[in-house]
Structure 1
Amino acid sequence: MLKPGQSGGSWIRFYSTKKFSLKGKLKTSPKNKSIQPTTPARTRFAPSPTGHLHLGSLRTALYNYLLAKSTGGQFLLRLEDTDQKRLVADAEQNIYDSLKWCGLKIDEGPNEGGPYAPYRQSERMNIYKKYVDQLVESGKAYYCNCSKERLLDLRESATKLKPPTTVTYDRKCFHDNHHSDHNAEQIVRFKSPDTYSSFTDLMHGEKNLQPQYNLQDRRYDDFVIMKSDGLPTYHFANVIDDHLMGITHVIRGEEWLSSTPKHIALYEAFGWKPPSYVHIPLLTSLEDKKLSKRQGDIGILSMKEKGILPEAVTNFCALFGWSPTRIVPGVSSSEVMTLHDLIDKFSLDTLTKGNAKVKDDKLLFFNKHHLRNRINEPDSLDELVDSYFPRFNEFTNGKYNKEYLKKLLISLSQSLSTIHDIENIHSYIFKDVEHSKIDESQIPSQAKEVLTILKDLDHSDFNSCIDEITKALPDTKKKDIFHSIRFALSGGISGVTIPLLIELIGEVEYKKRLQNALNIL
C-alpha cells in the first residue's frame, strides 16, 4: 500500500494557501465550543500487520478506543494487509495480543466478526473492484498504461520546472486512452479536482491544502487508486472501508494530514459524507526527533516482559497529546489513571497541540503507582503473586512459597518501580551480601562499633536497640547508625525498613550477616 503523500510511485508535497504549520494561526472553532460528540462514535484502528505493535500505534488505537467508549460507541479493528510483500508472519497475532493485554476490547474485527465483515482488506477485493469500476464508468477515474520509465521521466522533469511542481502526471492516458480497452495489468488513477476542497480538522480547524502547480506545464495529482496487481492503494481502500463500516470519527497521526484532501475528494466523487477527522501530534524523542524503533518507539509486549503493567502503559500513552479536565481551575488533576478512569475522563476537547515528547522515566512513575495499587488490593495482589511466582521460584531456587512472596511484595510496595526490582535491586534479601566489594567510602567510620554493640542486643525490639547504641555512642549520628546496619544487612541498599528486613531474612541470616560484616571491618 502507498504511504502518506505517495501516488503511483511519486512523492507528493502539499502546500496550504496559508503557511502550512500546525503551530501557526488556524481558523478554528468558536472559543469554548465543544468538539466532543454527543452521540455514539464509531471508530477504528487500522494497522498494517507489517511489524509488532509499538507505542505510536498503540496511542492511535487508544484514542480511538477511548472516544468510542466515552460516547457509548463501537471500536473496530481493521487489518490493512494488502501490501503482501511487507507482511510479517506473527504481526497480526501480536496486534491482537497487545490490544488484549492493554484491555482494549474490540467490538468488531477479523476474529470478532461484525455486520460489515470481512475486516481484512485482502478479503475485500471484490468490494474495491466494484467501486473502482463505478468511478471509471462515471469518468472520475481512468486506466493508465504508462511505463515505469515514462513515469520516472515525468517525475524528473517536474523537479526542473520553474517553479517546480509537486505533482507529476500529465494525464496522457485520460486524454488519449480512457475510452480504449484495458488489461488487468493497468493501474487506475483517480481524476483529481482542479482545486481540492478545504476541510475541517476537529482539533486544528479549517485547512486548505493545495498542490503546487506550474501553469505553463500543467501536471495533475491523479493518484493511483488501484495498482497493477489488482490491489487498492491505501487512500482508496481507506475511504471505501470507512464509509461502508459507518466510521464517524478518524483519529490518526499528523503525518496523514497532507493526504486528507485526497480522501475528501474521493468522498465527494461518490457523494458520501466523510467522517470527522482528528490529526494528533507526533511522538518525539527528547531531542524532538520523530519516534522510531531506534529512538524509543517501544514494542508493547516487550514492556510486559520488563515487568511493566498494562494500566501503566495505557496511562503513559494516553497523556501523549491529551490531559484530563481540571476539576478545580488552576489545580492539576492526578495523572495516575486506570483504563476505566481514562474512559470516564476522555474528551476531544482536552487534546493538546504540539509534539509529545516521550520520557521513559514517566512510564516507571506510573508503573510504580499502579503496582502499589495492585499490591494494596487483595484480589489483584493474589493475581500478581500467581503470575510472578514461577519466575520468583526459579531465581530463588524454590526456597520460598507464595505466602512469602506476598509478604515480600507488601513490604517492598513503596519502593518497587517494577516487580522485577525484586530480583534486580532487592536480591540481597535472598543472596549473601558481598561486604568486601562495597566501596569503603560508603561505609560509616563508626560501623564496627555500631555492629559490635548490635550483635549482642535483642533485635526483637529494634527501637530499643537503637536507643542502646545511641547511649553507648553519643557522638554518632542516628543516620550513621542506620547506615551501618544497612551496610551489614543489605549492602547499603534501602527499600524496606530494617525491622521488616530482619523479619524477611530471618534470625539466623540476620546474625550471620552481622558477623560477616564485622569480619570484613
Structure 2
Amino acid sequence: MSLDSVRVRFAPSPTGPLHLGGIRTALYNYLFAKKHNGAFILRIEDTDQKRFVKSSESYILEALKWCNIEPDEGVGYGGHYFPYYQSKRLDVYRTYVNKLLKKGNAYYAFDIDLDQKRKEYNHRGLIFSYNSKIRMDLNNSLTMTEKQLHDKLRSCSYVIRFKIEPGEKLKMYDIIRGNIIVDTDNLDDKVLLKSDGVATYHLANTIDDYLMKITHVIRGEEWLPSMSLHVLLYRALGWTPPNFAHLPLILRNNGKGKISKRNTDSFNFPIYPIQWKIPKTKVVIPGYRELGYFPEAFVNMLALLGWNPGIKREIFSLQELINLFSLEKITKSGVYFNIKKANWFNKKYLNKKQEEIFVFLSKKIKTHSIFFKKNYLWKVIYLTMDRIHFIHEIWEHSFYFFISPSFYEASFFKKICNEKTIVQLENAKKILLCNINLNQFTSINLRCLFKTIKNKHQIMQLFRFSLVGSLKGIDIFIILEMLGKEESMRRVEKLINQIKEKI
C-alpha cells in the first residue's frame, strides 16, 4: 500500500478523559500521518452508551489542541466521511451485517443471557466460550429451519454473532510485532450487533476504517487479541485489511500493572494531559497543563515513551519528531513511566522560557506592592533557574530576594532559640558593620571576611536562616550582596528579636 495516501485515525471512546496511553496513541498516529504527508482523523467510537460521559468529547478536543496535534478531519473538524460518530452510523452497520448474514458469515443468536451457562462451566473448572465447538448445541439460527427462525425473530430478542470457521492457522502481520499466527479453533464467535440494535466496537470500527479509507490502524496493545477477528471480518466482506501496529503498554514505575483511568487514586503522578472534572462529584483532577508542564515538553516526553529515534539526544521539536518517526522503531515490550524523567524534560524546555519566567515573577512581586529594576529581576532569574522545573516554582526559590521571610522553619528555629545564638549573631553583625562599608558589600569581600570569623560555618548558617527563613537558597554571599548591607542587617536584627521574644 502506497504511503502517499496514508490515512490514520484516533478513535477514542467518550467514556472519560484521555490518559497517557490514549494521548500517546493520538500522538503516534499524528506523527506517522505528518511524516508521510497523510491525514490524521478523529473519530468518536460511542457505541457503548452505558458508559458515555457527556464532557468527554470536549475534553478530547481540548487535550489534542493543547498538545498541538490537531486532526485534519473528523469530529470538530469536518470532512468527506461524515458522520464521524459511530452512534450516527447504525444504518451503515446494519447494511453490512445483512451482507454477512446472507453470505453465511454471521448468524442470529437468541441465548442472550449466558450467565447461567458461564456458571455451569465455571463449576466444572472450564471457561465458557461461544464458539464452533458448542454453537450447534445452543439457541441460534444455525440450528433452526427458516420458519423457526422467522417465528423466533418476531417474538424474541437476539444478537448477531460472527461465524468463525475452525481449522485455520490465520497468518497476520503487525508492523511492530512482526508475524502473528492464530489458530481459529481458539476464537469465539463475537457479537457484531447487540440486542438493542447497536453495533459492537469490532463491527463498527472495521466498517468505518474501510469506508474512511484508513491505511494504518495504530492502536494500543489491548486490541491485539481482537486483530484476528478484524482481519477475518475484512476477509468476509471482501476487503483488504489495513496495516496494523499495536503499541506497547505504559506501565507504572513500580511494576504493578498498566496506567489506566479506572484506578487514578493509586497513582502519585498525573496521568491526564489536562485537568478532568469528575461529572458526579465535581472533583477536579489536575493534568500536566495545570501542573505547569509545557505542551512541547509533554509531547517530547510522551513520544519517547515507547519509541526510540536511534540517536543519542532526547530533546526534539514537534517537526523533528515528525521527521524521525517510524513505527518500526517502537518497542514491543511495555514501557515504564517515570515522573522524574517527565520533570527533566520540562526543565530542559524551561531554559527557553526565560521571558515567560520574567513576566511571571514581575506579576508576583506586584502582588506584594513592591518594585525592582529589570536588571535585578533578570539577575535573580539567572541565579535561581537551575533550581526549578516549572515557571511557578521561581517564587518559592527567589522570594527572599524581594521580601523578608514571613516565618522561620520551625525545627531549626527551635534549635537556635537561645542566648548563645543571639551573641553569635550580634558579634558577626558588628564585624560586618565595622569592616565593610556599603560600596564594599560584595560577595568576594564578604567571603574573605568570613574566613576570619570564628565558627564561620555556623555563623553562615545563621545568616542564611535570617535572610531566607530556612537553610535553603543559593550561595549565602551572593544573597548578602544582592540584598545589600542595610537589608541584610535588618533581617539579621529581625531574627535576633524573634529569638528574644521566644526566650
TM-score by length of 1: 0.78
Give the secondary structure class of the aligned counterpart of 1:257.
helix
Q: 1:409 to 1:467 in 2, by over 3 A?
A: closer
Give the secondary structure class of the aligned counterpart of 2:289.
helix
Give the secondary structure class of the aligned counterpart of 2:308.
coil
Does residue 49 of structure 2 align to residue 101 of structure 1?
Answer: no
Match of 1:303 among 268, 285, 288: 288
What whole-Å deviation, never above 9, does each CA across 1:165-200 have from its counterpart, x for those lacking one? 644561441323474333594321111222362211
Q: Which residue number in structure 1 is paired with residue 314 of structure 2?
A: 335
Measure, in 1, the Cα distance between the counterparts of 2:23 and 2:94. Answer: 31
Q: Which residue number in structure 1 is paired with residue 180 of structure 2?
A: 207
Task: Give the alignment of 1:232-251 within 5 angstroms.
Answer: 232-251=199-218
What whole-Å deviation, never above 9, does each CA across 1:130-162 have from its counterpart, x for those lacking one? 2112212222112222241xx234434445678
Compute the displacement of 1:80 (Å): 0.8
Bigger RCO (CA 8 Å, 6+ sep): 1
Q: 1:402 to 1:260 in 2, by over 3 A?
A: farther
What whole-Å deviation, never above 9, does each CA across 1:322-356 have from its counterpart, x for those lacking one? 11212xxxxxx122233233222222232123211
TM-score by length of 2: 0.80
Q: 1:438 to 1:318 in 2, by over 3 A?
A: same
Q: Which residue number in structure 2 is paired with residue 190 of structure 1?
A: 162
Compute the displacement of 1:441 (Å): 10
What whole-Å deviation, never above 9, does each CA across 1:257-288 have from its counterpart, x for those lacking one? 11111111101111111111111221111222
Q: 1:162 to 1:460 in 2, by over 3 A?
A: closer
Give the secondary structure class of the aligned counterpart of 1:197.
strand
Task: Give the alignment of 1:19-30 within 5 angstroms.
Answer: none
**Aligned AA for 1:491?**
G
Q: 1:464 to 1:131 in 2, by over 3 A?
A: same
Q: 1:39 to 1:494 in 2, by over 3 A?
A: farther
Does residue 97 of structure 2 align to residue 132 of structure 1?
Answer: yes
What whole-Å deviation, never above 9, does each CA across 1:482-510 have from its counterpart, x for those lacking one? 65543332234555555765687677644
Q: Which residue number in structure 2 is paired with residue 57 of structure 1?
A: 22
Q: 1:400 to 1:315 in 2, by over 3 A?
A: farther
Q: 1:285 to 1:409 in 2, by over 3 A?
A: same
Unaligned residue ranges in structure 1 (runs of 5+): 1-35, 214-219, 327-332, 376-380
Q: Which residue number in structure 1 is paired with residue 279 of structure 2?
A: none
Does residue 189 of structure 2 align to residue 222 of structure 1?
Answer: yes
Task: Give the alignment of 1:29-428 within 5 angstroms.
Answer: 39=4, 41-148=6-113, 151-159=114-122, 166-167=129-130, 170-171=135-136, 172-177=139-144, 179=146, 180-181=149-150, 182=153, 185-194=157-166, 195=168, 197-210=170-183, 221-288=188-255, 289-292=257-260, 293-296=264-267, 298-301=271-274, 302-326=287-311, 333-375=312-354, 381-382=355-356, 392=364, 396-397=367-368, 399=370, 409-428=381-400
Aligned partners of 2:443 and 2:480 also within 8 Å: no
Compute the displacement of 1:49 (Å): 1.1
Q: Which residue number in structure 1 is paired with residue 449 of structure 2?
A: 468
Compute the displacement of 1:253 (Å): 1.6
Give the secondary structure class of the aligned counterpart of 1:256.
helix
Give the secondary structure class of the aligned counterpart of 2:234.
helix
Compute the displacement of 1:309 (Å): 1.4
Aligned partners of 2:441 and 2:481 also within 8 Å: no
Q: 1:281 to 1:495 in 2, by over 3 A?
A: farther
Identity %: 35
Does residue 452 of structure 2 align to residue 491 of structure 1?
Answer: no
Q: 1:202 to 1:452 in 2, by over 3 A?
A: farther
Q: 1:245 to 1:402 in 2, by over 3 A?
A: farther
Give the secondary structure class of the aligned counterpart of 2:83.
coil
- Equivalent residues, number: 461
Compute the displacement of 1:232 (Å): 0.7
Measure, in 2, the Cα distance between the counterparts of 1:128 and 1:407. Answer: 65
Compute the displacement of 1:365 (Å): 0.9
Give the secondary structure class of the aligned counterpart of 2:160.
strand
Give the secondary structure class of the aligned counterpart of 2:391.
coil
Aligned partners of 1:486 and 1:498 also within 8 Å: yes
Aligned-residue Cα RMSD (Å) equals 3.4
Q: Which has the higher helix share?
A: 2
Measure, in 2, the Cα distance between the counterparts of 1:135 and 1:212. Answer: 20
**Aligned AA for 2:345?**
F
Measure, in 1, the Cα distance between the counterparts of 2:296 and 2:308. Answer: 16
Give the secondary structure class of the aligned counterpart of 2:387.
coil
